[in-house]
Chains A and B, each alone.
Chain A
Amino acid sequence: MNETATPSFPKHLLDFQDWRRTQVESLLETAQMMQEVLARPVKKVPALTGFTVATVFFEPSTRTRISFELAARRMSADVVSFSGAVSSTTKGETYRDTLRTLEQMGIDAYILRTDAAGVPHQAHRWLHKPVINAGDGWRAHPTQALLDAFTLREKLGDLEGKKIAIVGDILHSRVARSNAELLPMLGAKVVACGPATLLPGSLPGTTLTTNLKEALAEADAVMALRLQKERMDKGLLPSLPEYIAGYQITEERLRWARPQAPLLHPGPMNRDVELEGTLADSPRSLVERQVANGQAVRMAVLYHVLVGKKS
């Protein structure tokens, strides 16, 4: 560990297990500053000049990758991209080989996306430089949760005592798991709701229910999750119309929530599945705001893991 950096700040972002509320608050404050940078005509600061970050995506994702790459470039970091598939045999290059090769090329931070839970933790054990988790399987997507928290605070102010309903395929959702870790840390109450077959048996700090009305009742904000169509093939859901009948967020159902409760979705959206018709484009929707804030939050994350906060 580098002793000159602020020791109180994790030099990685794998999930929120080793983060404390004050650190998250501090990061969200930095994101606020980054947002101001993004509002300028020239959206570039020299904060990360001389650093090279690598986006290492073993699972394809255009949106998250672009968001991270822009975030790095706006802070004057150099960016390289690696995308590859992992074979289930060891005939191909292993994660470790790929990452160690990049390490030899002088990468300063790794932004890692995989379809399997835990790879960022494995990478963290193998590498000497910071690892930022850009989504690992069903497990965690911490920058998504941070941008959700940032967006919610922008709209609702302090999240203390606020009820956030997350609706959809909770079982397979890294977004739900990261939000269930982060939002209660910031004082919010999280209720996760979905079809019985798409709910985990338990999630710490989170109320689970199959009853949408109960989940939305008096909610201060509603977050719908993307439904993967392959869930039907696995026998977890009878059909799309069945999901829509039970769990689509509609104008009418949104009335169960608090008036003006905002609507979030991590994207990409299946229009007319998770959300009814034009709800995503309505004034209640924060979907576009989430995307814009994502960049500011990722700039803050890169800044914190690479430079740290001056004490």
Chain B
Amino acid sequence: MKGEILIKNAKLADGRGEHGSADVLIGEGRILSLTGGDASTVLDATGKVLSPGFFDPHAHLREPGQEVKEDLQSGLTAAAKGGYTDVVSMPNTSPVVDSAEIVRALKEKAAQIGRARLHPAAALTQGQEGKILSEARLLREAGAVMLTDDGRTNEDAGVLAQGLQYAASWGLLVSVHAEDAGLRRGGVMHEGKVSFRLGLPGNPAYAESARIARDLEVVRYVIQGPGMEALRSGKSLLHIQHLSTRRGLELIRQGKQDGLPISTEVGPHHLTLTDEHLESLNPIYKVAPPLRTRTDIEALVEGLLDGSIDCVGTDHAPHTQDEKELDLLRAPFGIPNLEVAWPLLYTELVLKRGFPLPILIERFTDGPRRVLGFSPIHLTEGAEASLVLWQPNNQRPVEPSAFASKAKYSPWEGWMLQGWPVLTLVEGRRVFASEPLL
């Protein structure tokens, strides 16, 4: 059999489990064989692991309008470097992504760039103003995969209910930034003993859990509506973004037990950092929702393990260095995550805590794909060759100055991590290769 790339001696690991070593022959955008063959390029992958490409359900790539922070070129390159083959971009840009024209333009541009694939999320309401529903049918046709007013909160439960109902009728998932604006107020960090001592406005855990509780009731209401039973067929209707609290997780776990069509994600920072990092008074730790406590981290890891949390979403949210050097009240929320998410969680969860590798891979691959209605990619003959080859043993510090993202800073700067991707393929085409492989 003749292919384009032969990856020899790679250990195979996907969302189903680990499958030993194989010689993976890739051609025509697919896995042609797991038992070798001829290829024009042969890579010796001894000691490396081959997995399905990662899928990020939540990234802010800032285009159009905020290219000073990030653009499709830098963002999708950063994604490919991080082992991601697919990225869902958030629509809170300038202008807001709320029309089929913008979705099409983004998709075309991303295809030309040819790095990770772009799946735009579009606004749930026009201009993300929370009033008039956006054109779900036309947006879906243009390639939008999700509707969300992320960046803002859905204060009007009635509009959310109608949006859910309408989006579901066109097969689109709705995702929400679940925080009650009134309870959150001007909070810039988790409300707790650290914020009280530092004199910084706090954002209580209950701002998130109160909003999740409301939204689950909205889902219960919406699924009573006409035709909803037939439409949902096990798919998620409401996706709760960047879960950060133990209490929020409890509500979601209960909701899922009750059979509600919901899903959720967790970000790498909410699994590895706490509010105590704010004691440095460095706005690099300012994210929304805020870094919580050790108790929350323990609960979230448990939720990721038992499947209450469907997937890891990076919430990659780059800003300029100047913006992040404003004070803690004025600096914007967010940090760049795409290039560190996998090595970070592989190191901190799998290596340090014994979290099962196949489950973590599942939460980076099948999990997000399932939430968004994409079929899973498993390492079998005939499967789509959107893959990542990563290095489980080489330890290397996080070096933000070498980021492909325009945001060249990181709260994990200097952390020694393993699991760095060395090769990312989208349908058999190289979208990232580390230098030794070039």
Contacts and interface: CB of A to CB of B under 8 A. Distances in A.
Contacts of A140: 199
B153 interface: no
Given A117-B198, A202-B193, A204-B197, A88 B325 contact: no
Given A121-B280, A201-B192, A95 B199 contact: no
Contact of A201 (B191, B280, B322): B191
A94 interface: yes
B197 to A, nearest CB: 6
Contacts of B196: 200-203
B329 to A, nearest CB: 4
A240 interface: no
B200 interface: yes
Contacts of B325: 94-96, 122
25 contacts: A86-B327, A90-B322, A90-B326, A94-B326, A96-B325, A115-B329, A116-B328, A116-B329, A116-B330, A117-B198, A117-B281, A117-B327, A117-B329, A118-B198, A118-B200, A118-B282, A118-B327, A122-B281, A122-B283, A122-B325, A137-B199, A137-B327, A140-B199, A201-B191, A203-B197
Contacts of B191: 201
Contacts of B320: 90
Nearest to B323: A90
B24 to A, nearest CB: 47
A139 B200 contact: yes
Contacts of A125: 282
Q: Closest 7 CB pairs between A and B?
A: A118-B281, A138-B199, A116-B327, A139-B199, A200-B196, A121-B281, A116-B329
Given A118-B281, A201-B193, A86 B330 contact: yes
Interface string A112-135: 001111110110010000000000
A172 B280 CA distance: 20
Interface string B297-340: 00000000000000000000000101101111110000000000
Interface string A192-215: 000000001111100000000000
The number of chain B residues touching the other chain, given as a range, is 20 to 34
A94 B322 contact: yes
The prevalent SS among residues of A at the interface is loop
Interface in B196-212: 196-200
Interface of A: 86, 88, 90, 94-96, 114-119, 121-122, 125, 137-140, 172, 174, 177, 200-204
Contact of B328 (A118, A174, A203): A118
Interface of B: 191-193, 196-200, 280-283, 320, 322-323, 325-330
A117 B328 contact: yes
Contacts of B326: 86, 88, 90, 94-95
Nearest to A121: B281
Contacts of A201: 191-193, 196
A140 B196 CA distance: 12
Contacts of A96: 322, 325
A115 B281 CA distance: 14
A58 to B, nearest CB: 9
User: Chain B at the A interface: mostly helix, strand, loop or mixed?
Assistant: loop
A121 B326 CA distance: 12
A86 B326 CA distance: 9
B193 A119 contact: no
A114 B322 CA distance: 18
A247 to B, nearest CB: 20
Given A94-B326, A172-B199, A201-B192, 17 more contacts: A90-B323, A90-B326, A96-B322, A114-B327, A118-B283, A121-B280, A121-B281, A122-B281, A122-B282, A122-B325, A122-B327, A137-B199, A200-B197, A201-B196, A202-B193, A202-B196, A203-B196
A195 to B, nearest CB: 16
B192 A138 contact: no
A119 B199 contact: no
Most buried by B among A114, A115, A137, A140: A137
Contacts of B198: 117-118, 139
A121 B283 CA distance: 11
Of B281, B323, B325, which is in contact with the most chain A CB atoms at under 10 Å from its CB? B281
A115 B199 CA distance: 11
B282 A137 contact: no
A121 B199 CA distance: 14
Contacts of A90: 320, 322-323, 326
Contacts of A202: 193, 196-197
A174 B327 CA distance: 16
Contacts of A137: 199-200, 327, 329
Interface centre among B192, B199, B327, B330 (most CB of A within 10 A): B199
Nearest to A124: B281
A117 B282 contact: no
B235 to A, nearest CB: 41
B48 to A, nearest CB: 39
Contacts of B323: 90
Given A201-B192, A202-B193, A204-B197, A95 B327 contact: yes
Nearest to A91: B322
B28 to A, nearest CB: 48
Contacts of A203: 196-197
B343 to A, nearest CB: 27
B327 A119 contact: yes
Contacts of A172: 199
A200 B194 CA distance: 11
Contact of A174 (B199, B280, B282): B199
A119 B329 CA distance: 10
Contacts of A117: 198-200, 281, 327-329
A202 B326 CA distance: 27
B336 to A, nearest CB: 17
A96 B326 CA distance: 8
Q: Which of B196, B323, B325 has the most CB of A within 10 A?
A: B196
